[in-house]
Amino acid sequence: MLQRNMWLHISQLPEPIRKGLLDGPLPGLKRPPASATSASQSAPPPRPSQPPDDGAVSTCHCQEATGSHMAKPAQQRLFSEPPISGTRMFSFRLVYIFSYNLFQFCGHTWILANTIARFLTFGEDALADTFYSVGFVMSLCQLFSILELFHIADGIEKARLLPRFVQVMEKNLLLILVIMMDEMQSKLVVCVQFFLWNILDLLRYPHELLCVIDASYIALLWLRYTLWIPLYVLSVINEGVTIYQALSYAEPTESTHSHLSFILMVYMPVLALGASVTVWQLLMERQHHLDKRNKKIRKE
């Protein structure tokens, strides 16, 4: 009787839902024969009878509870959507940020090793063609560093956006300036600038790699947020010297450098202001990370 009543209710549902209920593994429900179905549909409605006793009422409640319990898995299967797991997205973000930091670390390691090897082999003569030997890889690394702004904005990397924006923009603008002016590519300040940039990035990217896998060390933490700040100040000073030397080659009378001297003169105070704000932000970031590390050590 219970199965016949359930079949009557199911036969009145729409075709997709009825098909899902009949095809799904619903325990205890079997398709009744066609004769029973037609007989049940053609049978007259039952006559009103006397109210059942307590035993019949309890039996009815048990049957209703059993029917609702049997129909619940099918309803959940039909009307509930599968939960969206964040494991795949988390794995993709983890692999992506790890691969990016590894790429930057390998690129700057190659630049620094090439520069030192050439200097030890050729001496001071290697400084003249430093840009020609490592300029392409340096330009590629600095171009990809623009992605770090999107990493911070998207939440993949936890850092302050303003100091990173100033660092990325000043490097790329100075690199474009050096590429535009052939006279500056063989200068000593360019070699020194590349050396300082590589030291700064080799202090930062190993720490970022370890943070991705939750394996930070106190020595790298100190190098990243303490030694990094004075090296960044030296890098900004050398950038100012580079721009000052470039002013002598950016004459307004030249067709290719007609507006470059004005851009350089405006860029120098902007660089000083941006570097000051960046150092202030870096000091705050250093205090935050060191305090966080000290609290973690005290809890352990």
List pLDDT tens digits, range 47-105. 544 444 444 444 444 444 444 444 444 444 434 444 444 444 458 888 999 999 999 99
Top-confidence residue, 280 or 261 = 280
The confidence score (pLDDT) of residue 225 equals 85
To the question of pTM greater than 0.95 for the whole model, the response is no
Residue 279 predicted with pLDDT over 50: yes
State the burial class of residue 174 (Cβ atoms within 10 Å of its Cβ: 0-12, 13-18, 19+): buried
Evaluate whether 157 touches 282 at the Cβ level (below 8 Å).
Answer: no
Mean of the per-residue pLDDT values of the chain? 75
Residue 264 predicted with pLDDT over 90: no
- 210-242 pLDDT, tens digit per residue, is 888 877 778 888 888 888 899 999 999 999 999
The confidence score (pLDDT) of residue 248 equals 80
- 107-153 pLDDT, tens digit per residue, is 999 999 999 998 888 887 787 788 888 989 999 999 999 999 999 99
- Residue 262 banded pLDDT, cuts 50, 70, 90: confident
Amino acid letter, residue 110: W
The confidence score (pLDDT) of residue 18 equals 66
**Could you tell me which of 8, 11, 202 has the C-alpha nearest to residue 116?**
202
**Could you tell me which of 194, 200, 197 has the C-alpha nearest to residue 130?**
194
Count: domains in the chain: 1
Top-confidence residue, 269 or 54 = 269
Residue 255 predicted with pLDDT over 60: no
Residue at 254 is within a domain: yes
The confidence score (pLDDT) of residue 252 equals 58
Average pLDDT over residues 177-195: 85
- Residue 17 banded pLDDT, cuts 50, 70, 90: low
Residue at 72 is within a domain: no
Say what percent of the chain tops pLDDT 90: 26
The confidence score (pLDDT) of residue 6 equals 64
**Could you tell me which of 227, 235, 225 has the C-alpha nearest to residue 271?**
235
The confidence score (pLDDT) of residue 4 equals 59
Residue 239 annotated among the catalytic residues of the structure: yes
The confidence score (pLDDT) of residue 114 equals 92
Residue at 212 is within a domain: yes
The confidence score (pLDDT) of residue 234 equals 95
Among candidate residues 232, 251, 285, 300, the one labeled active-site is: 232
Residue at 248 is within a domain: yes
- Residue 155 banded pLDDT, cuts 50, 70, 90: confident
Residue at 1 is within a domain: no
Residue at 37 is within a domain: no
The two structure tokens encoding residue 35: 């004769």
- Residue 24 banded pLDDT, cuts 50, 70, 90: low
State which residues form the domain around 288. 89-299
Residue 64 annotated among the catalytic residues of the structure: no
Top-confidence residue, 227 or 20 = 227
Residue at 147 is within a domain: yes
Among candidate residues 100, 239, 244, 300, the one labeled active-site is: 239
Q: What share of the chain is helix, strand, coil (3-state, %, to 5)?
A: 80, 0, 20
How far apart are the C-alpha atoms of 115 and 189, rounded to whole Å?
Answer: 14
Residue at 2 is within a domain: no
The confidence score (pLDDT) of residue 76 equals 46
Average pLDDT over residues 168-185: 85
Evaluate whether 144 touches 103 at the Cβ level (below 8 Å).
Answer: yes
